[in-house]
Structure 1
């Protein structure tokens, strides 16, 4: 038996929530791991004990625990009309010597931009977010950030980010709003990627776009995220390259 302890926080901390106690047995759909979780939320501080029969990857465990606690907060938020965000900061397991403090980066993306001149890149991006067409770039950025935060919905947000870029093409290249074939071709030409890239995102997004529950294995989530990361889209007129790299952790 492995017993993990994870701690975190419900934000905003200044908005105190009623103390919560949750106990659940579950099977993780992606890995098939059976587990029992006991959750205590006191003064917005989160403490979670998870028991499993097998050793569990700390990052997968973090994602599962965050999902469980966020689900509770979403129910509370729905009833009260409030919004809460959950952060899981650390995981420990004395049986196997695990003691991990989680960062905020997604390595398959952060490694892509290692050593970037942040001020220069932001200065290039800022003008592209101005005016009516800038709304589409902003929406794209928000979806890409959300995709990094929410692995379960990575396909939905990645595809909507790219859809926003298509709308940006319509606005800046004066394209026929009804001619989607030309819109997508224009985007792919600017991005330097082939049709299979956008088609793979479209296919993966079909189920979540229609409210279906679909488990996305980590390897597929990494591929979707990096395929969607048209990082130069926001820094030039729309994009210069499709960039893909590595693991999502």
Structure 2
């Protein structure tokens, strides 16, 4: 038996959450791991104990626990009309010598932009995000950020981000709003990508766009993220 302890917080800390105690048995669909979780939320501080029969990847464990606690906060928020966000900061397991503080980076994207000059890139982006057409680029960025935060919906948000770029094409290139073939063709020309890239995102997002539950394996999620970022990079720099 492996017993993990995870520490976290419910934001915003200034808006106190009613104390919560949750016990749940569940199966992580992607890995097939069965587990039991005991959750305690006191003064917005989150403490979670997870028991499993097998050693668990810390990132998968963090994502599962975050989703479990976020579900509780979403129900509270729905009933009370409040918005809460959950952060899981640390995981400890003495059986495997684990003691890790989680960062906020997504490694595949951090590596993709490892050589990027931050100030130069932002200086090039900033004027393009101003004004009426800039709204579409901002929506693209927001969806890409959300994709990093919500692994279960990574494909949905990545595809919607790229669709915002398509809408940007319509406005800035005076394209026919009904001619999607030309819109996608123009987007790909500006971004410098081929059709297979946008088709990959479209296919990955098909099920979640229609409300169907679908677990994206980690390798596929990395491919979806890096493809979306490559398209966005090319488009925003060249539009």
Per the normalisation by structure 1, the TM-score is 0.93
- Number of the residue aligned with 1:42: 42
- Number of the residue aligned with 1:162: 162
- Number of the residue aligned with 2:195: 195
Is the CA contact 1:23–1:36 (under 8 Å) kept in the aligned structure 2? yes
User: Partners of 1:203 and 1:217 in 2: how far apart?
Assistant: 14
Is the CA contact 1:128–1:234 (under 8 Å) kept in the aligned structure 2? no
Runs of 4+ displaced beyond 3 Å: none
- Number of the residue aligned with 1:32: 32
1:103 correspondence with 2:106: no
User: Partners of 2:238 and 2:14 in 1: how far apart?
Assistant: 41
Is the CA contact 2:9–2:88 (under 8 Å) kept in the aligned structure 1? yes
Shift of 1:235: 4.2
Q: SS at the partner of 2:4?
A: strand
Is the CA contact 2:3–2:51 (under 8 Å) kept in the aligned structure 1? yes
Is the CA contact 1:21–1:41 (under 8 Å) kept in the aligned structure 2? yes
Consecutive unaligned residues of structure 2, counting only runs of 5 or more, are none
Is the CA contact 1:7–1:47 (under 8 Å) kept in the aligned structure 2? yes
- Number of the residue aligned with 1:176: 176
Consecutive unaligned residues of structure 1, counting only runs of 5 or more, are 239-249
Residues 179-223 of structure 1: CA deviation (Å, up to 9, x unaligned): 111110111111121111111111111111111111111111111
User: Partners of 2:235 and 2:183 in 1: how far apart?
Assistant: 17
Q: 1:69 to 1:222 in 2, by over 3 A?
A: same
Q: SS at the partner of 1:193?
A: coil
Is the CA contact 1:137–1:234 (under 8 Å) kept in the aligned structure 2? no
Residues 70-109 of structure 1: CA deviation (Å, up to 9, x unaligned): 0000000000000000000000100010111000000100
1:61 correspondence with 2:61: yes
- Number of the residue aligned with 1:76: 76
User: Partners of 2:93 and 2:80 in 1: how far apart?
Assistant: 35
Shift of 1:116: 2.4
User: Partners of 1:158 and 1:231 in 2: how far apart?
Assistant: 10
User: Partners of 1:193 and 1:58 in 2: how far apart?
Assistant: 34
User: Partners of 1:235 and 1:110 in 2: how far apart?
Assistant: 18
User: Partners of 2:233 and 2:157 in 1: how far apart?
Assistant: 18
User: Partners of 1:162 and 1:234 in 2: how far apart?
Assistant: 10
Shift of 1:236: 2.1
- Number of the residue aligned with 1:242: none
Residues 95-130 of structure 1: CA deviation (Å, up to 9, x unaligned): 010111000000100111124221221111110011
Q: SS at the partner of 1:31?
A: coil
Q: 1:179 to 1:235 in 2, by over 3 A?
A: closer
1:236 correspondence with 2:237: yes
- Which residues of 2 match residues 142-157 of structure 1 at below 5 A? 142-157=142-157
Q: SS at the partner of 2:133?
A: helix
* Cα root mean square deviation, aligned: 1.0
Is the CA contact 1:121–1:235 (under 8 Å) kept in the aligned structure 2? no
Is the CA contact 2:112–2:226 (under 8 Å) kept in the aligned structure 1? no
Per the normalisation by structure 2, the TM-score is 0.97
